[in-house]
Amino acid sequence: MIAAPIAPFPAPNLVSLGDLSPDELRLVLDTALEIKANQTAYNDLLRGKRLAMVFEKESLRTRFTFDIGMQDLGGSATFLDLSNGARMGARESVRDMAKNLERWTHAIVARTYRHRTVVELAQNADVPVVNGLSELLHPCQALADTMTLIEHWGDVKGRKLVFIGDGNNTCHSLITAATKLGMDVTVCAPEGYEPDAEIERAAVASAQETGGSFTLETDPIVAVKGAHAVYTDVWASMGQEEETEERAAVFSDYAVNEQLMEYTDHAKFMHCLPAHRGHEVSRGVIDGPNSIVFDIAENRLHAQKAVLAMLLGGEGQS
Ligand code: CP
Ligand code: NVA
């Protein structure tokens, strides 16, 4: 198998997909599709390269897929588990952590509470930093989400994607990516739980550039009419556990179930996982024929391999 040349990543770090132009985002997704199609061709690309993974929060998918992805490309990964409450910046400054990690490793993946922590790591480390989820963004998730839609549909331009629920990290990165790909994006959230205003403004600007659209809607039935994909996520994210009950009441009309899906255009169902069946999504929908949640989970691996390959093994990198 002949490996196609890997382009360098279009930015020094992957903190936000907002840092990429539509063409740059498409390049990352095309690289992910190429790496998935020719998996054995890149086995040696990152030989000798080491990845540091520093996580303040629990993880199944992100942890496994970065670790396995690094191994698949010939490199190695070392995990520091801070999910017992020891946040970055407590024992020593985030800057000092960055200055240590850069001496031993070639890249850092961080999962943090404060978004600022990922930004500070990226500002201080001389090696690339990848956001493995912060309270604001989840860019690796959105790469896998949009990659999966491209696999299912080919061209995603003009397709209607609706995110229902909390305007959270997953939602932010999804709307950033989908509007850059020319999709018609609607977010349906209860009042007070809408996405970040600045991220919304950027999504509107991207949609104008790519011929897509971005709208907000509070009524789930109105929102999903004609949708080609419906996405939801947990109502209480990591760090919001004490709000679980209050949020369950606020979001009770925003559950994705078979009745709601009837209003769509045979929509695919999407979720970043972990999911709570009987809360944000019914069993029948997430385990039904239109659910693509495990395709997305698989693609976390391929999308992140593309990010690692481009950051560390792209042409011109040593
Ligand atoms: N979707 C996702 O990021 O899963 P984990 O929290 O298990 O990594
Ligand atoms: N919004 C969720 C995503 C988990 C992958 C959280 O932050 O907990």
Per-residue pLDDT reduced to its tens digit, 199-217: 999 999 999 999 999 999 9
How many structural domains are present in the chain?
A: 2
* Residue 89 forms part of a structural domain: yes
Q: Do 124 and 208 share a structural domain? A: no
Mean pLDDT of 134-143: 99
In the prediction, which pLDDT does 244 show?
Answer: 98
Residues taking part in catalysis: 111, 138, 141, 233, 272, 300
**Residue 142: nearest ligand to its CA?**
1
| Residue 145 shares a structural domain with residue 290 | yes
CATH number, domain of 59, equals 3.40.50.1370
**pLDDT tens-digit series, residues 83-95:** 998 899 999 999 9
Rounded Cα distance, 89 and 303, in Å: 29
How far apart CA 79 and CA 58 sit, in angstroms, is 12
The rounded Å distance from CA 2 to ligand 1 centre is 32
Same domain, 80 and 184: no
Residues with Cβ < 8 Å from 14, sequence gap 6 or more? Answer: 128, 129, 130, 131, 139, 140, 307, 311
In a domain, 206, yes or no: yes
CA-240 nearest atom, ligand 2: 8
What pLDDT was estimated at residue 318? 54
How far is it, in rounded angstroms, from Cα 219 to Cα 208?
Answer: 24
The predicted pLDDT at position 179 comes to 98
For the chain, how big is the Rg over CA atoms in Å?
Answer: 19
Q: Would residue 234 count as lying in a domain?
A: yes
In the predicted structure, residue 102 carries a pLDDT above the cut 80: yes
For ligand 1, atom 6, the nearest C-alpha belongs to 59
Q: Is the CB of 179 under 6 A from ligand 1?
A: no
* 150 shares its domain with 281: yes
Q: 10 lies in a domain?
A: no
Same domain, 268 and 192: yes
289, 158: one domain:
yes
- Tell me if 5 is assigned to some domain: no
State percent of the chain over pLDDT 70.
Answer: 98
67 found inside a domain: yes
Full residue range of the structural domain in which residue 224 is found: 141-296
Residues 88 and 40 in one domain: yes
Ligand 2 center–CA 170 separation, angstroms:
7
Strand boundaries in 118-167, DSSP class E: 129-131, 160-164
And the tokens for 137? 């963004």
Spell 277-312 as b/e; 16+ CB within 10 A means b.
eebbbbeebbeeeebbbebbbbbbbbbbbbbbbbbb
Q: What is the pLDDT of residue 277?
A: 98
Same domain, 127 and 169: no
229 and 308 assigned to the same domain = no
Task: Name which of 15-29, 59-73, 82-96 the model is least confident about.
Answer: 82-96
pLDDT over threshold 60, residue 121: yes
| Residues 106 and 241 both lie in one domain | no
Provide the pLDDT for residue 178: 99
Q: Is the pLDDT of residue 173 over 80?
A: yes
pLDDT one-digit tens code per residue, 272-299? 999 999 999 999 999 999 999 999 999 9
**Residue at 29 is within a domain:** yes
The Cα–Cα gap between 221 and 3 comes to 47
pLDDT at 316: 64
Mean pLDDT of 91-101: 97
Residue 7 lies in a domain: no
For residues 31 and 165, state if they share a domain.
Answer: no
DSSP single-letter state for residue 281: B
Q: Same domain, yes or no, for 284 and 303?
A: no
